[in-house]
Amino acid sequence: MAFRYLIEKASEERKSRIVLALDLSALPKDLGREALKKRALKVLREVNQYICAVKINMQLLLPLGLYFGVKEVVDEAHSLGLPVIIDCKLSDVGHTNAWATRHYFEAGFDAIIINPIIGWEQGAQPVFEVAKEYGGRGVILLVYTSHKAAPESYELLVRDPESGLDKPLYVIFAERAVRWGADGAVVGATYPEKVKAVAEVLRNKVPIFSPGVGVQGGRIEPCLKAGSKYFIIGRSIFNAEKPAEAAKFFRDLAWLEG
């Protein structure tokens, strides 16, 4: 089933725009793999009714392994009716991208985040082809990150090979999201003005996923007004004394404001 349908269905059913970033981290010497997996599953079960999707990145993938611990987390999310995104920010050459994408989808992931810096031919194109082959899995482009140094790269003026005009890099990435038919665009909630600029390029054709709410200082309200559809939130939920209450707080804020 297509990723866009899955996340929209979960969002409507749970009245939520929150994607749980299950980015729990621990070295094996500090916390055993089983303990880390159990903590991830515990958080997921506690907050599942308040979220519309789950995002997993290297902090969980590396210690647990793709086809073992992480697959168990993915399967549990699916049993709860939640789609799962792999946040690998894929950015290699085409044949490697296709190989990696197949493995992620074989492990059950419903969508993948990639870096559009790789371009289309022998870059992003194989990822989109594999996603289509697997029944409409999602491909989400990283357009503007949430950390403080993001402007150093994403606001660089570069020559757009399509138009020949000089544009900020993030604008070119947003245009690629539309042209390539992406299923999402990541724009940090710490930069609501960039959310607005990207939304103007996307014209409601591609939903915006915004990380950075809470710990990084991003706020839901201005980003909703600017055009964000989903909010990727991790530490402010799973490090809370009561994760379910934190997830409900963000769920209610994003849904009622929207």
The pLDDT tens digits of the residues spanning 47-102 come to: 999 999 999 999 999 999 999 899 999 999 999 999 999 999 999 999 999 999 99
Alpha helices (H) along the chain: 3-14, 33-47, 58-64, 71-79, 94-106, 125-133, 150-154, 169-180, 192-202, 220-226, 235-238, 243-257
Q: What is the pTM of this model?
A: 0.96
Q: Which amino acid is at 87?
A: D
Residue 114, pLDDT above cutoff 70: yes
Indicate if the pLDDT at residue 27 is higher than 80. no
Name the residue ranges covered by the structural domains of the chain.
3-140+208-257
Task: Give 258's pLDDT tier (boundaries 50, 70, 90).
Answer: low
pLDDT value for 29: 75
Alpha-carbon distance 150 to 153, whole Å?
Answer: 6
Higher-scoring residue by pLDDT: 29, 117: 117
Share of residues in the chain with pLDDT > 90 (%) = 90
**What pLDDT, on a 0 to 100 scale, did the predictor assign at position 30?**
75
Residue 87 φ/ψ, nearest 5 degrees: -100, 75
Of 11-20, 22-31, 69-78, minimum mean pLDDT range: 22-31
How confident is the model at residue 234, as a pLDDT? 96
**Region 141-156: what's the mean pLDDT?**
96
Q: How confident is the model at residue 13 (pLDDT cuts 50, 70, 90)?
A: very high
Q: Give 256's contacts (C-beta < 8 A, 6+ positions apart).
A: none
The tokens for 34 are: 């089983």
How big is the chain by its Cα radius of gyration, in Å?
A: 17
> Region 209-219: what's the mean pLDDT?
94
Mean pLDDT on 176-185: 98
Confidence of residue 162 (pLDDT cuts 50, 70, 90): confident
Average pLDDT of the chain is 95
* Average pLDDT estimate for 29-45: 90
- Burial class of residue 146 (count of CB atoms within 10 Å of its CB; 0-12, 13-18, 19+): buried
Question: In the structure, what pLDDT confidence band is assigned to residue 28 with cuts at 50, 70 and 90?
Answer: confident
**Residues involved in catalysis:** 89
In this structure, whether the domain defined by 3-140+208-257 belongs to CATH 3.40.50.970 is answered with no
